[in-house]
Amino acid sequence: MALQAVHFYQTGTFTAGNRLLGETERAVQANMRRTNSLNSGHRACQGCGEALGARYAIDAAMQASKNRVIAVNATGCLEVFSTPYPETSWQIPWIHSLFGNAAAVGAGVAAAMRVRGRKDVRVIAQGGDGGTTDIGFGCLSGMFERNDDVLYICYDNEAYMNTGVQRSSATPPAARTATTMAVGAHPGNVFGTGKNVPLIAMAHNIPFVATASVANLRDLEDKVTRAMAIEGARYIHIHVPCPLGWGSEPKHTIQVARMAVESGLFPLFEAEHGEITSRYVLRRPVPVTEYLKLQRRFAHLFGKDPDVATIAAIQAIADRNIQRFGLLPTPTQTQMNADEAQMNAEKAKR
Partner 1 sequence: MLRQIEGSLAVAQAVALCRPEVICAYPITPQTHIVEGLGEMVKSGELGGCEFINVESEFAALSVAIGASAAGARSYTATASQGILFMAEAVYNAAGLGLPIVMTVGNRAIGAPINIWNDHSDSMALRDAGWIQLYAETNQEAADLHIQAFRLAEELSIPVMVCVDGFILTHAYDRVDIPSQEQVDQYLPPFEPVQVLDVTDPVSMGAMVGPEAFFEVRYLEHHKQETALERIPELAAEFKRVFGRDSGGLVRGYRCEDAETIVVALGSVNGTLKEAVDEARARGDRVGSLAICSFRPFPLAEVRAALRHAKRVVVLEKCLAVGIGGIVSDGVRKALSGIALEGHTVIAGLGGRAITKASLLGLIERATGGELAQLNFLDLDWKVVKREIERQREHRRAGPAAENILRDLGRGLPPRGQDFGPPARIG
Site string (225-244) toward partner 1, x via CB under 8 A:
--------------------
Task: Please tell me whether residue 111 binds partner 1 under the rule CB under 8 A.
Answer: yes
Task: Please tell me whether residue 36 binds partner 1 under the rule CB under 8 A.
Answer: no
Query: Backbone phi, then psi, for 155, in 5-degree steps?
Result: -95, 105
CB 8 to partner 1: min, Å? 37
Query: Do residues 38 and 90 lie in contact, with contact meaning Cβ atoms separated by under 8 Å?
Result: yes
Alpha-carbon distance of 168 to 313, in angstroms, equals 20
Instruction: Give the residue with the Cβ less far from partner 1, 84 or 250.
Output: 84
Whether residue 86 is preceded by a cis peptide bond, meaning omega within 30 degrees of 0, is yes
From candidates 47, 49, 53, 106, binder to partner 1 by CB under 8 A = 106
Task: Please tell me whether residue 205 binds partner 1 under the rule CB under 8 A.
Answer: no
Alpha-carbon distance of 320 to 45, in angstroms, equals 33
Alpha-carbon distance of 118 to 229, in angstroms, equals 15
From candidates 53, 77, 90, 158, binder to partner 1 by CB under 8 A = 90
Task: Please tell me whether residue 68 binds partner 1 under the rule CB under 8 A.
Answer: yes
Please count the residues of this chain forming the interface with partner 1, following the rule CB under 8 A. 44
Which residues are CB-neighbours of 339 under 8 A, at least 6 positions away?
none
Instruction: Give the residue with the Cβ less far from partner 1, 124 or 271.
Output: 124
Instruction: Give the residue with the Cβ less far from partner 1, 91 or 179.
Output: 91
From candidates 18, 29, 97, 147, binder to partner 1 by CB under 8 A = 97
Query: Do residues 235 and 129 lie in contact, with contact meaning Cβ atoms separated by under 8 Å?
Result: no
Alpha-carbon distance of 161 to 182, in angstroms, equals 17
Alpha-carbon distance of 248 to 49, in angstroms, equals 11
Binding site for partner 1 (CB under 8 A): 67-70, 72-73, 79-80, 83-86, 88, 90-98, 100-101, 104-116, 121, 138-139, 141-142, 145-146
